[in-house]
Amino acid sequence: MTRLLEEAFSKVSSLPDSEQDELARTLLELAGVDRPPIQLTPAEEADLAEAEAEIARGELASVDEIHAMWAKHGL
């Protein structure tokens, strides 16, 4: 292990566990290690199910609505 990597681990080890885990996930991703699938919260699963139902019903945004959203965000 390089000196710089040892220094980084030393600094990260003093952070809260949740921040350490997030940094570890990022490092593993950058190193090419597969990550487990994202676990959705129950609220996120409900939102996704509703979005899929809207798509199935054909409730899609119009071109004008999409352009308005882009404009709102400066795109």
- Torsion sign (Cα): 49, 54, 57, 60: negative
**Dihedral of the CA atoms 14, 18, 23, 27 (nearest 10)?**
120
Q: Which tens digit of pLDDT belongs to each residue from 22-59? A: 999 888 888 877 766 678 899 999 999 999 999 999 99
Provide mean pLDDT across the span 2-28.
93
Note the pLDDT of residue 36: 64
Instruction: Give the range among 9-13, 19-23, 32-36, 69-73 with minimum mean pLDDT.
Output: 32-36
Tokens 């949740």 label which residue? Answer: 18
Provide mean pLDDT across the span 48-72.
94
DSSP string, 26-73: HHHHHTTPPPPPPPPPHHHHHHHHHHHHHHHTT----HHHHHHHHHHT
Selected residue with higher pLDDT from 37 and 60 = 60
